[in-house]
Amino acid sequence: MNADALRAPDLPAWPQYGDEERVGLIRALEQGQWWRIGGSEVDSFEQEFGAFHGTDHALAVTSGTHALELGLEVLGVKPGDEVIVPAFTFFASSLAAQRLGAVPVLVDVDPDTYCIDPSAVEAAIGPRTRAIMPVHMAGQIADMDALEKLAADAGVPLLQDAAHAHGARWQGKRVGELGSVAAFSFQNGKLMTAGEGGALLFPEAELREEAFVRHSCGRPATDRKYFHRSGGSNYRIGEFAGSVLRAQLGRLDEQVSVREERWALLHDLLAGIPGVVPQGRDTRCDRNPHYMAMFRLPGIAEERRNQIVDELLARNVPAFVGFRALYRTDGFWAGRTPEGASVDSIARACPDADAISVDCLWLHHRTLLGSAEDMHAVAEVVAHVVRRARA
Ligand SMILES: *Cc1c(COP(=O)(O)O)cnc(C)c1O
């Protein structure tokens, strides 16, 4: 083929759905209760999603961002408290802390896994630290052994941002078995979806009950007399979303297996391209659901990286630029930030997050639902585009 006509084949579409979703939606419709109070779809989904992740205590909410906010709230984060967050993540991680009036303290990430660096966390822990938020970047679980130890020594809880980690495992343990609160997203692009939605997993019933009350305007499920027990807001998800999520959960495990197999191949093909360094794996993460197929082009200029993404899109590869380091967004500075901090001071303290945010790109996880042949075709396009851009 003429190299300039080089295109990737059509990859599987996302989201995926079938009769399970159709039947679920009709079931919810005909149930006659479209909100979760009195309905059974969200209740059932919570049980199923919790069981899948090894806990009895799950709560579905309106979004992953709300899951993080509510998680921090029930862990006792108050205005002025500090929450340690990686500098390279989606904006919701720090936004959730700022919505509560708390101060996100940004720390560096590992240049290979792009997950929060435990030694940077250790250095950032201080008297006002109230929570530590590891993000399981693209499905790679952060170093939970080191983080659990740091958290226990400091007497501070962990809140796992598991928005990329549906079905992930760390040394055989599922996310709900790791002993800390975890927050998930079901936004359209995530590994299972109802368009929007989120969930929290808790290690114990009391925290889940507290979160339930807060997610329903401070009202326990059985209240009929408007005895609002606490503050909170309305983060309730509806029955239609609950029914779709039940069907989506049924697809997850097999899709994870396919993506694991395809990433093993695509990783090696990408690693063989000069100038391309795929995301590394901490093998203690023994099941990685691969929310993104990420790789770096070390040393590339940001503009050039962005052109490569455009070129990949034009050649049918679903590519995106990596997250912008949080401190390089206006939104971050609109909330509470550490006293005296500036873009430059955080950038100096987070050199790896700063570099990754410039040189990283990712392919949508639907890429990894393609065939083995598709992985070869995608890698060929990446090699061609990167070679031309680097020339
Ligand atoms: C998607 C995402 C969220 C937020 O989820 P929403 O459902 O879109 O609010 C939080 N953290 C990370 C790392 C994400 O990628």
For 32-47, write each residue's pLDDT tens digit. 999 999 999 999 999 9
Q: Say how many Å lie between the CA of residue 376 and the centre of ligand 1.
A: 30
Those residues with Cβ within 8 angstroms of residue 108's Cβ, 6 or more apart along the chain or in another chain: 86, 87, 117, 120, 349, 350, 351, 352, 353
Judge if the beta carbon of residue 192 lies within 6 A of ligand 1.
no
Q: How far apart are CA 244 and CA 238, in angstroms?
A: 10
Please give the average per-residue pLDDT across 127-145, as a whole number.
98
Q: What pLDDT is stored for residue 4 in this prediction? A: 84
Mean model confidence pLDDT for the chain: 97
Half-sphere exposure of 16 (CA within 13 A, CB side): 17
Instruction: From the CA of 190, give the closest atom in ligand 1.
Output: 1
Q: Say how many Å lie between the CA of residue 30 and the centre of ligand 1.
A: 31
DSSP 181: E
Q: What pLDDT is stored for residue 390 in this prediction? A: 82
Q: Say how many Å lie between the CA of residue 208 and the centre of ligand 1.
A: 20
Tens digits of residue pLDDT in 241-272: 999 999 999 999 999 999 999 999 999 999 99
DSSP strand pairing (129-132 vs 181-185): unpaired
Q: Is the pLDDT of residue 10 over 80?
A: yes
Those residues with Cβ within 8 angstroms of residue 1's Cβ, 6 or more apart along the chain or in another chain: none
Q: How far apart are CA 32 and CA 37, in angstroms?
A: 12
Catalytic residues: 90, 161, 164, 187, 190, 219, 226, 236
Percent of the chain with pLDDT over 90: 97
Minimal CA–CA distance to 139: which of 282, 280, 288? 288
Q: How far apart are CA 89 and CA 109, in angstroms?
A: 10
DSSP 335: S
Neighbours of 145 (CB within 10 A): 13
Q: Which of the four pLDDT bands, split at 50, 70 and 90, describes residue 289?
A: very high
Judge if the beta carbon of residue 92 lies within 6 A of ligand 1.
yes
Q: Say how many Å lie between the CA of residue 310 and the centre of ligand 1.
A: 24
Q: What pLDDT is stored for residue 1 in this prediction? A: 58
Percent of the chain with pLDDT over 70: 99
Q: Is the pLDDT of residue 356 over 80?
A: yes
Please give the average per-residue pLDDT across 72-94, as a whole number.
98
Please give the average per-residue pLDDT across 358-382, as a whole number.
98
Judge if the beta carbon of residue 65 lies within 6 A of ligand 1.
yes
Instruction: From the CA of 197, give the closest atom in ligand 1.
Output: 7
Under a CB-based contact definition with an 8 Å cutoff, are residues 165 and 141 in contact?
A: yes
Domains annotated on the chain, with CATH: 19-247 (3.40.640.10), 251-390 (3.90.1150.10)
Does an H or E element contain 343, and which? helix 343-349
Minimal CA–CA distance to 100: which of 336, 267, 369, 294? 336
Please give the average per-residue pLDDT across 277-293, as a whole number.
97
Q: Is the pLDDT of residue 2 over 80?
A: no
Judge if the beta carbon of residue 163 lies within 6 A of ligand 1.
yes
Judge if the beta carbon of residue 69 lies within 6 A of ligand 1.
no
- The edge-to-edge listing of strands for the beta sheet with 103-107 is 103-107, 82-86, 129-132
Q: Which of the four pLDDT bands, split at 50, 70 and 90, describes residue 195?
A: very high
Q: Tell the burial category of 200 from Cβ atoms under 10 Å away from its Cβ (0-12, 13-18, 19+).
A: buried
